[in-house]
Structure 1
Amino acid sequence: MSGSSIDVFTWRATVREQVVLVPGCLDLPLGEALGRVLARPVTSPEDIPAVPLSAMDGFAVRRADLHAPGATRLPVVADIPARPGTTPELPDGVAMRIMTGAPVPGGADAVVEVEATDADPFGAVPTEVTITLDALPPKNRHIRGRGEESAHGDLLATTGDRVGVGLIGVARALGIASLPVLARPRVGVVVTGDELATGGHGTIGSHLPGGPVAPDNALPPTSDPAPGMVRESNGLMLTSALEADGAAARAWHTGDDPATLRALLTEIETECDLVLTTGGIGQGAFDVVRAALGDGGVGTSQLVHLALRPGGPQGMGRLPGGTPVIHLPGTPVGALVGYYLFVRQLLPACPGEPRRVLLGEDPGPFTSHRHRRAVLAQPGRLRTTADGAEVVDVLPGRRLTPYARADVLVLREPGAQHGPSAQHGPGADGVPGTDADARGTVRVLPL
């Protein structure tokens, strides 16, 4: 372990540079694509609408036959509903009644809304209609032209866009049956520690395909752990976070024997694009990850200490087959903080960099007792003030418990005051309050 602590954002950038996941592409049926990330652009294969359509209930006419201002009396020679079938050509000097969405007859260059006529909107088609206008309608009035909504070749969505219901609706209307999306990254979570009771009130995520080693996904509940043991929570917590962020995740548990850990990692890495471990990265005699992969073992992983509370111990490396591995602390709150700061950024659903918001209710002074520039990670909830400002309140409580209500991870740096007493000057990048010593603002990441 280095004698000096590494800056949180420097380590975040280092992880992002060294661990690049390249998920494959698959075509998913529309009904299965919601929420996935596009692997390629999607373009329109045809025009919408394919033919000119009426945008109103009314009468299709030739503008040359109308008198304006004033009234025009025209014979009505056809009734055109919005249904399949061919549409006749509109002769000179006549009108055709037409419904919204119906194909406009050839020769018609305007649709006059029924409200501008003497026709009964709900009655049978009249033999004649009187159209009264204050001015001549513009050309193609109330006519949706061919390709007006989307022309052939138009870009509908691009690489990296998330598939939403709007894209699914447009794709369906265009006859697109499937969408090209990124395959879910396969992430294995290996929880270490002899002291962990691996039963629980649910099951550990098991969506990672295959795998020769049985995961901890069907263990009976452990209502009363034996003395000296604690219920294991990192596995289900992290696989749930991974699944929510678009990965396929599965968890395993191993104890504090380095050889057993190395054997497990070797066995599962072929089924994983990324492996996470929790625990065993400190300086103790039983820190299994350090003993197996760090400077006490094969030396393929770099273990560091960050200027971060909680979650200072972190690490990363490569397994024998080349699969990247990220090492998180064993404490649940440290593992959660590490996930949101360093792992989530690697996934297609990454929400981006932490952003600045105002710090709300005074959470009390923060001075780093060990590392002068340490970042304090805390759970928080966002709210909007009466004047429209976005504010975050740090939630009270210790360790993991307040995260049950949190919607953001708050990153506080020494010296930041709460909002009411803060001075909001421009930061180094010109944005108010974006310096490391910004007064009254903190960085937040969504949970």
Structure 2
Amino acid sequence: MIAWALALALASPAAQEVAPRAEEAAADSGFSLAQAVAAMREGHPLQDYAAARADWAGATRVAARLWENPAVNFDYFLGVRSTSYDRAGALVVGVAQWLPVTAVPRARGEVARHEERAVAGDNQRLLRGLELEVERAMIGLAGALRTVEVHGDALSDLQESERIVDARVAGGVAPKYDATRIGLAVAAAEAAFRSAQADVSAARGRLDVAVGPRAGQLKGAPRIDLFAAAEVPPVATLQAQMIAGRPDLAAARARLEAARASVGVARREVFPGIGLRVAAGFGQGPGQVDVGAGVTVPLPILSRGQGFIDRARAEARAADSVARTLVLAAEQRLRAAHEVAQQRNEASRRHVAMSREGAEVLQQQAQAGYQNGRLSAFELADASLSVRDMRLRDLELATAARLAEVELRWVLEVGGGERPDD
């Protein structure tokens, strides 16, 4: 009854009018980083890819520890000359089982367990990278939208200046050159405004790609403060955190352990086990029934692990080299990214502090000076463009600072690019 009443209410004309308003309000309020990341997690195809890889690694670990299946043998003998066999011949049925006395399956399972840990690290790195890509795209979209605002304000200022110039030209107190000059400035500002709008479309496209199929859920503008600079922790603190928790370094350590365990597998496979067979026969002689057992013992004469053990040792050395290279390169990249983030933040703060008040004063002085006849249209247009360029520079530095913070967290939490064979 409640559901029916609710459906009836929503179907009413009043509710149909309120619903679009609610959607518009939601669009106006925009979306947060948490909402964008949640939309990515709900529908991005690489989530299924990571889950499938985890299932694959788990199944491999299970399969690696299994013994070989038993085998059933059927043998039939028929005497053709000077035989004591039964007339119908002799039938022998046996069951054979390979016994891995050197625990090869357990050793293979150990290798697979380390590989499963490595895959888990790869998946964690992939998913965290997707989250940071969403944040990076959101910063880009927020910057593009703010750029449109700056160009729009500059265009409005120039149009106001154009109105002032046209009035003075019409009154005969200013030359027609002033009207032509300010008109060209307005046309250029309008072109820049339209170009900035196109950049917003491109930035929104990059965000949609980062979020995936559910990007349509994100309405309005991203709620993110580009000028909220965060304090960068000391590099020593970040380095310890990175070494302990970065997933690709953990995956490299797991692959090193897997390579070391593979040396033990290669050694065990020189003598992998023995074969045991239990058999029963009928017809060796008239009415004769036999039972028996047999053992198969491999002789490691021709193959004694030549090459295989050395190959496993070489792979372990290679994995150790990769792990050490990753750690070294990660530390170097972290120091560089840390320094860049600090410098970007400082540059943004200093420029904003020095330029914001000066830009507003410059615009007011230019308009007042032109109306009093002390400045030309060139200075009037130059003032508007200078204010615009100053605000764009503020925005550029703030965006660069936020992206530098994301890059620092990328190095700290995701990594990539340091491996020699990438």
What range is the shorter-chain TM-score in? under 0.3
Using structure 2 for the length normalisation, give the TM-score: 0.22
Q: Higher strand fraction: Structure 1 or Structure 2? A: 1
Greater RCO (Cα-Cα under 8 Å, separation 6 or more) = 2
TM-score, normalisation: structure 1? 0.21
Instruction: Name whichever structure is richer in helix by fraction.
Output: 2
- Computing the radius of gyration from Cα coordinates, the structure with the larger value is 2
